[in-house]
Chain A
Amino acid sequence: MGERLQGSTMKDADIKRLFYVHIFCIVSIILTTFIPSFFLEDFSVLETHLTWLCICSMCVAIINVVLYLQVKPNPSSKRSSIFHKISRLLKSCVYFFISCLLFHAIIVLYGAPLIELMLETFLFAVILSTFTTLPCLCLLGPNIKAWLRVFTRNGATSIWDNSLQITTMSSVIGAWLGAFPIPLDWERPWQVWPISCTLGATFGYMAGLLISPVWIYRNRKQLTYKSR
């Protein structure tokens, strides 16, 4: 009984941490929309979209890495050597790059132009990777088997895995929904490829960040994790 109680309080503490981390992420993304205009001439999210994309993706990447290093949701049991750490880092970078390429390929298969606007498409792939692959890398390390496990029905082993599922899905769905306004004849600047999709992905990511603590909190009774 007492153990169970302790478990639940630990879980509550975890959820709290998760919530603060996510709020921090959201605030930083919002900050990227206007902080750069103090340093850069005529910066705006829509007009200098690529710049914003780079800044946002960098920012999210840094915050993710720092936060996960700080919070350490999955403390690794065995201490590893420097060499091992470096190899993990390199592997992570390679994986990230591969995931960007994969996303690019999928976007092109989805109908994006192949040759024109290649840079735009690639940056869209980069930001999608930042929202999806990077948290995976931070949380699970460069371990594809673990990634694949997390994205199955009973694959989550902690609330961090659950939040990973939710944010990843919501970013992808956001990007998918972002494609819908493109054919409309409203002639708005944000309908240009790939702005609506990147914005959709960003909103989806932020929504996922908000939803996941709430969802986990509401379902905390049902969520039981098998230890592996």
Chain B
Amino acid sequence: MLKALVLLFLAWVCFLFYAGIGLFTSGFLLTRLELTNHSSCQELPGKGTLVGSGRGEPGACWTVPRFSRAVIVLIDALRFDFVHPWPAGPPAPQPFLGRLSFIQHLLEAQPQHARLYRFLADPPTTTMQRLKALTTGSLPTFVDAGSNFASYAIQEDNLIAQLNNTVDRDDWDLLIAHFLGVDHCGHKHGPHHPEMAKKLNQMDQMLQTLVEQLENDTLLVVAGDHGMTETGDHGGDSKPEVMAALFLYSPLPLFPGASLKDPEVVPQVNLVPTLALLLGLPIPFGNIGEVMVDLFSGEGDTQPLATALAQASAYHLNAQQVSRFLHAYSLAAQDLPPEELQHLQNLFSSASSEYEQLLDQLKTGEVREADIQALISQLRLFLRGARTACTETWARFRPARMIGGTILLASTCLLCLITSRLTSSPDFPFHCLLLRAVVWGLAGAVLLAGGLMAAGIGLEPSLLCAGSAATSLIAFLWALKSRESSSMTVFLPGPLPILVLLFLRSAALFSDSFVVAEAWAAPFLLRSLSLFLVAQLHWEGRLLVGVSTACLSSPTASLARREGPRALGLLVGLLLCVRLSILFHRCPEETPVCQSSPWLAPLATMAGGQAKNLWYGACLGTLGVLVLAVRFWLRRCGNLNSPAPPVLFVRWGLPLMALGTAAHWALASGTDEAPPRLQALVSGAVVGLPRAVLALAAIGLGLLLWQPVTVLVKTGASSSNHIIVPFVGPPASQADLDYVVPQIYRRMQEALRGKLARGGGQTPLALAAYGLGSVYSAAVVTALALLAFPLLLLHTERISLAFLILFLQSFLLLQLLATAVGTPAGSPGPFSVPWLAISAWALTATQTFYSTGHQPVFPAIHWNAAFVGFTEGHGSSPVLPALLVGANTFASHLLFSVGCPLLLLWPFVCEGQGSTKRKKTLASGTEVGGEKEEEPLMEMRLRDSPHHFNAALLQLGLKYLFILGVQVLACVLAASILRRHLMVWKVFAPKFIFEAVGFVVSSLGLLLGVALVMWVDRAVGSWFKQLILSQER
């Protein structure tokens, strides 16, 4: 199998996953752009003057205020039927019915002063979003793409901001009281519990007291922000959730006539423009609500004409404002459908010109009421159309897309599972199938694009990608099915324990408690997995000897004697590392008992003194240990001897990077303590040092890619022992090279061993290649070290300890897996990484995400990372800070996915270690049996059978993608099934976003890691070619 094919195949699978995620996201994550524009008192939303010309009056803005004050009582989760009047007499069948008797009394006694409405909330019916809607008059979605993610403050124009900006009256104008009791009671007991009756009675008493204190110029608004389901939850869009109550009351008569028998339905956003105009404020810029017309009867007089005129003017102002907003929004974002916008624009301009006409007629005299009513209905049509268009775009899940995305993800997971089984069969025509899939995918995309264009719907990238992904996936699976009709039976990933683990992992994502507690759950599963591994080793009699006489005679027993205590030691070390890494946890907001680790704060926040210095010393120690560990490992494998540039870089560049990091930390943690003369220098260094480290890392990676072969070749003094080349002339084809390369390697090893065993000099040396057995892993380890330093710099100082634990832990895990899972002793292939190893690796990545102080919620993102090396900020471009913050957040995903090929390579490296030990003991005493003992080929075994090597890499990638894909799939299912859940916007949706972005980062990292190994393989190939040529001469 070709290397390029492996990469292409993996990239194709990644694309399928991305398409699925994208499609789901477009249906699930309601997004909207926040505009920062504000309405102002001086500037009307459109041309024209005001009827009644109240502009000169004090406190008037766009209109004359009808009330100077308002009291808003917001009762959380006040469902409509809690307020609905209940006839006196028989006791109510439900505890929540007929409890607010005071409201009922007001409605009956003063029908012109009070009115009850059904208050229709828009989904998502979560308190935060509803409060935002009740102040901005817009439709907040989960992701309101605005200037600042982390802030809970409302950035958009809103009523309260208008109140603060516009008006300066003496006393108070607006009193807002937010009562959470009903909501709490609903969550805890549900609406059918007697507690609810108690709570509603309390509310009733509160209202009674309040109304007694009201003055004449005050408007009372009692509103629920959303309702609740029969179980007391909210968040979704079912009728009991969206149907809240709104009650208006004023000591003065408000309404011209008596109220209707059945209360009117008023959308929630309508309250904002109504209140704004009643209080004489400008309507907030982003409002899409419509004024409640009943409240705009002409002041004092009962003439129908004046009333209609006042209503028309309020409507017109409202329409002007909405039209201005739509115009501004369509300039900034393209998500509103353009045809709809055009239609609305036409409606508005015709209504507006009619209004102008009307005003002209008013000057001359005769105006008929019917004309005004017609105008009002036209304006109303425009306003409702605008609101509908916005609702369609912002506040509605698209179940078809969600289901489509989920199906796409699930079938891609299935594809990973099936193909990971098939990679080992040598004659499987991956290239044909891939080509067919890609062609079909392109065809599908083109067809879909044509169809969309023909239907007049704009080209949406997520739809296009999903369409092409689906067609290519179907084409691939179809071809597969027709080929392997028999083997399409049950495909389960690996043994039972892995299935249990996968099930637990996925099931945990469906419970908000477990998502919150994932920081503990992932290490728990990891520990269980490693314990299980060792227990299974013992069960099979491979751990300790002397246990069973039957096992003693088997060849594994000798292995067990050596490996047993080692495996136990590795296990204990691993468990310790996992336990220690918990020390760096940050707490999610939901657990009040838990306390975040104090070590997550930067050193700069610590008061100076001994502790700070000690901590700084510990961080320095960590850096030193990291550098030394990498060097030690490379030296031990023999990859630190050659004069290749990457080796030189590891020798000198890594310490330099560590030094730069240390200096940056020292300056950053003590900037304030620097003497004033050095202030400029220090601030320059704080900017310069991180950039220098980043540049060094980039240089190192560049060198690594340029010459990845870190092998030292030594030519002996005399070379009688020539390499036997079975053909004359340079190698003609790849096949020749494949044949000759192992031979050269064996020769070299032989020569090397001869030198080691007999003290050198006695046997004629031909060639000695140090570190050839671990070229691949050396390159990956070097790349990881180079990646780790910039990532380390993006975190706060003390997290470097967590990084040290990370490296140690993954090293121990690799060793344990290599010992436990078994070295591929002598087998020429096919190689395969067991599911257990890959699950453990993925779990470690998840655990590390938490142990580096992260949580999958937006407020927990380390925003400070954006300012490392950029203390002054970034200007307007959001790309660079997003990259920095993303690198900080997904550091563990990146490191572990780039390091994923190590899972394949490590057993081969360990094979070498085992034999070096043996050799040393042998070399001291006895003579080495010359040809009898086979030298460990280590990673060259992989090169021996290039087909199996590539297949193994493909399989590894597919398995890793499968495990990650199943997690994303579980998140997707959880978010879509539980979209009514109370915690969906607080827990499940953020978890989905983090998991999806983490998947993207991981898959890219995986592609990079696999590509790196292949690149090294290519370089090794050409290195061998050169070697042969030089030998020929």
Question: Quick one: CB contact mask for A134-164 with B, threshold 8 Å, 1 for yes?
Answer: 0000000000010011011111000000000
Contact B513 A183 (CB under 8 A): yes
Given A145-B547, A148-B547, A179-B524, A109 and B579 contact (CB-CB distance below 8 Å): yes
**Beta-carbon contacts under 8 Å, B498-539 to A:** 511-514, 516-517, 520-521, 523-524, 527-528, 538-539
Residues of B contacting A: mostly: helix
At the interface, yes or no: A39 with Cβ under 8 Å from chain B? no
Contact pick for A184, options B511, B538, B539, CB 8 Å: B511
Contact pick for A148, options B524, B527, B544, CB 8 Å: B544
Contact A110 B527 (CB under 8 A): yes
Residues of chain B with a CB closer than 8 A to A183's CB? 513-514, 516-517, 520-521
CA distance A151 to B547 in the complex (A): 9
Contact B547 A111 (CB under 8 A): no
Residues of chain B with a CB closer than 8 A to A176's CB? 528
CA distance A197 to B544 in the complex (A): 30
Shortest distance between the CB of A14 and any CB in chain B (Å): 23
CA distance A17 to B521 in the complex (A): 42
- Chain A residue nearest in CB terms to B579: A109
**Beta-carbon contacts under 8 Å, B950-982 to A:** none
- Chain B residue nearest in CB terms to A150: B547
Shortest distance between the CB of B812 and any CB in chain A (Å): 13
Shortest distance between the CB of B499 and any CB in chain A (Å): 16
Residues of A contacting B: mostly: loop
Residues of chain A with a CB closer than 8 A to B528's CB? 176
**Beta-carbon contacts under 8 Å, B549-568 to A:** 550-551
Residues of chain A with a CB closer than 8 A to B540's CB? 152-153
Contact B548 A149 (CB under 8 A): yes
Contact A153 B523 (CB under 8 A): no
Question: Quick one: CB contact mask for B581-597 with A, threshold 8 Å, 1 for yes?
Answer: 01000000000000000
- Chain B residue nearest in CB terms to A181: B513
Contact A155 B582 (CB under 8 A): no
Shortest distance between the CB of B585 and any CB in chain A (Å): 11
Which among B520, B576, B582 has the greatest number of chain A C-beta atoms within 10 A?
A: B520
Given A154-B548, A155-B547, A109 and B517 contact (CB-CB distance below 8 Å): no
Given A183-B514, A184-B513, A153 and B541 contact (CB-CB distance below 8 Å): yes
CA distance A183 to B523 in the complex (A): 14
Residues of chain B with a CB closer than 8 A to A110's CB? 524, 527, 575, 579
Contact pick for B576, options A109, A148, A155, A184, CB 8 Å: A109
Residues of chain B with a CB closer than 8 A to A155's CB? 541, 547-548
At the interface, yes or no: B546 with Cβ under 8 Å from chain A? yes
Shortest distance between the CB of B533 and any CB in chain A (Å): 15
Residues of chain A with a CB closer than 8 A to B544's CB? 148
Shortest distance between the CB of B578 and any CB in chain A (Å): 8
Shortest distance between the CB of B467 and any CB in chain A (Å): 41
Contact B547 A149 (CB under 8 A): yes
Contact B524 A111 (CB under 8 A): yes
- Chain B residue nearest in CB terms to A185: B513
Shortest distance between the CB of A152 and any CB in chain B (Å): 5
At the interface, yes or no: A63 with Cβ under 8 Å from chain B? no
CA distance A176 to B525 in the complex (A): 10
Residues of chain A with a CB closer than 8 A to B520's CB? 111, 183
Contact A108 B579 (CB under 8 A): yes
Contact A152 B527 (CB under 8 A): no
Contact B538 A152 (CB under 8 A): yes
Contact A145 B524 (CB under 8 A): no
Contact A111 B538 (CB under 8 A): no
Shortest distance between the CB of A161 and any CB in chain B (Å): 13
Residues of chain B with a CB closer than 8 A to A184's CB? 511, 513-514
Given A110-B524, A111-B523, A148-B538, A154 and B550 contact (CB-CB distance below 8 Å): yes
**Beta-carbon contacts under 8 Å, A34-48 to B:** none
Residues of chain A with a CB closer than 8 A to B578's CB? 109
CA distance A148 to B528 in the complex (A): 20
Contact B539 A153 (CB under 8 A): yes
Residues of chain A with a CB closer than 8 A to B524's CB? 110-111, 179
Residues of chain A with a CB closer than 8 A to B550's CB? 154
CA distance A223 to B934 in the complex (A): 42
Shortest distance between the CB of B785 and any CB in chain A (Å): 28
**Beta-carbon contacts under 8 Å, A166-187 to B:** 176, 179, 183-185
Contact A151 B538 (CB under 8 A): yes
Residues of chain B with a CB closer than 8 A to A153's CB? 539-541
CA distance A111 to B522 in the complex (A): 11
Shortest distance between the CB of B748 and any CB in chain A (Å): 42
CA distance A179 to B520 in the complex (A): 11
Residues of chain A with a CB closer than 8 A to B516's CB? 183
Residues of chain A with a CB closer than 8 A to B551's CB? 152
Shortest distance between the CB of B232 and any CB in chain A (Å): 15
Contact pick for B527, options A109, A145, A149, A151, CB 8 Å: A109
CA distance A176 to B60 in the complex (A): 69
Residues of chain A with a CB closer than 8 A to B539's CB? 151-153
Residues of chain B with a CB closer than 8 A to A179's CB? 524
Residues of chain B with a CB closer than 8 A to A148's CB? 538, 544, 547
CA distance A184 to B550 in the complex (A): 47
CA distance A74 to B465 in the complex (A): 70
Question: Quick one: CB contact mask for A32-74 with B, threshold 8 Å, 1 for yes?
Answer: 0000000000000000000000000000000000000000000
Residues of chain A with a CB closer than 8 A to B523's CB? 111
Shortest distance between the CB of A141 and any CB in chain B (Å): 16
Shortest distance between the CB of B552 and any CB in chain A (Å): 12
Residues of chain A with a CB closer than 8 A to B513's CB? 183-185
CA distance A148 to B521 in the complex (A): 30
Residues of chain B with a CB closer than 8 A to A151's CB? 538-539
Residues of chain A with a CB closer than 8 A to B548's CB? 149, 152, 154-155
CA distance A109 to B527 in the complex (A): 9
Shortest distance between the CB of B506 and any CB in chain A (Å): 14
Shortest distance between the CB of A5 and any CB in chain B (Å): 28
Shortest distance between the CB of A136 and any CB in chain B (Å): 14
CA distance A195 to B682 in the complex (A): 56
CA distance A151 to B540 in the complex (A): 9
CA distance A203 to B247 in the complex (A): 56
Besides A109-B527, A109-B579, 16 other A-B contacts (C-beta < 8 A): A106-B575, A109-B576, A110-B527, A110-B575, A111-B523, A111-B524, A145-B546, A145-B547, A152-B538, A153-B539, A154-B541, A154-B550, A155-B547, A155-B548, A184-B511, A185-B512
24 contacts between A and B (CB under 8 A): A109-B527, A109-B576, A109-B579, A110-B524, A110-B579, A111-B523, A111-B579, A145-B546, A148-B547, A149-B547, A149-B548, A151-B539, A152-B538, A152-B540, A152-B547, A153-B539, A153-B541, A154-B548, A154-B550, A176-B528, A183-B513, A183-B517, A183-B521, A184-B514
Spell out A's residues near B (CB within 8 Å).
106, 108-111, 145, 148-149, 151-155, 176, 179, 183-185
- Considering the complex of A and B, which 6 residue pairs feature the smallest CB-CB distances, nearest first? A183-B517, A109-B575, A184-B513, A152-B541, A185-B513, A148-B547
